[in-house]
Structure 1
């Protein structure tokens, strides 16, 4: 080798030694490459490709694609965060692959041991209600805002830091702000809604704290009962007692009709009036009320008929309808028979041997012994008739279901008038010809 060639070799070696370091290259054969660009949030995380450290994010990994192929498994790691994995596999020449690792913090917990003076304060951690003091709350490590509230005391605020696995003591000395008194509310029945100054507070029985020194309107309501109201003034630290015996509300009604009509109606022993006339197609109900919810004794009386008694239980706001058929209390006259007829629909006209005897339901006690014709008629229904055999001293009971009348069809036009007229015309023409 001559001196000229030796100088060139030395210069080339010097240039190689003086060149700056490039990003680590995966493979070293050939000049064809691909790039894997790795970023993370947060940045500064360590990057590994197939277990080989490549640097910290942001980081570019240059891969020689003509080298021995390997599977590229990217791992991004940072203290306090879970590792991020991204499998790529093989890459190709001129590929530019981006990997953006959003790292998830490793959650660590601690505890807040919270107490107050006085106790029983409502505790809020980061604005979320946790219960009343004293209590222990599990929280994530870090800073937390704590608030405590108790009626009659100033609201307390504090911020405390919790380390992983540690318990932080929190104690609040609550300062008195407003003077309070109390209203103890009971009712019969219990479970009634309680309102103080128009605001719902709770159900009976309940002790309610209120601002002392001012008057407060207490309202107690319960379905089916009249509203109870009372105005009270409470002194500081004292308790006013309310024991409300609720009265059932009068908002229920009875509607009563009787057959026959004119019966005297009594409810709970009180005379309410007499029932009006009702026909089969129009029932004339007598309105009674308002009545309180609960049980009521109902009695109907009419001369010549057995007294009707019943007990009805009304619900709040109920309207109960009653149709009462009274039975005669007169004994069947000696030698005569009785007849009790009901029909569906009721209100049918009753005829015995073609003599009108009333509307169903009807009771007759003067039917002579022997066979009689019984006829029932009702508008819109077919007549019902039957021969009935009566025995002296016995009553025949009948319950008749009447059938609706069918609509009659128009009769077919008879050809007789036209034919007769044609025959008469022909006879007249023949007679005229004979005359001439």
Structure 2
């Protein structure tokens, strides 16, 4: 009897150990998130100053905050690099879409993440948090003006929507998003200056200049 009990306890311990190891491995695997990067022109991708690939780029990373840096490839010598802090969330995708310009003020794009909400929300709805660089851009959801960034859009029905941001003197940015029930989409837009709308300052002629005419 004691022998049978000992075998039973041994098997029980093995079973519990198996479950614990399986849970640990699965939890470790599920502690990752995805990163997708699209850039025009193509660029090398660095995460915390470590080269991880070239665009278009997609891979899994551990949950956490990283410094993402994009360096133009090849002959794009007149194109500036870009870098920013991004966050990788568990079981979700961080989406980066950038159009690199000749300088920071002519570079534009957006970074999107989706995070499970911790506060109760109506069934079938989610939220969108919109930020812009520079701040103060007008935010539109499905062509309806919703406010000035930064702004949180609450009770957004699940499904596909269109987010657009605009500020005078800058190019408009528009992106399609998908709202999952109970999730908040964090949308960060970087606006590029529209130099065609930048007022030109005429140089004042001095008395010496006029005398030489």
Q: TM-score range by the shorter chain?
A: 0.3 to 0.5
| Bigger radius of gyration | 1
Give the alignment's TM-score, normalised by structure 1. Answer: 0.21
Q: More helix by proportion, 1 or 2? A: 2
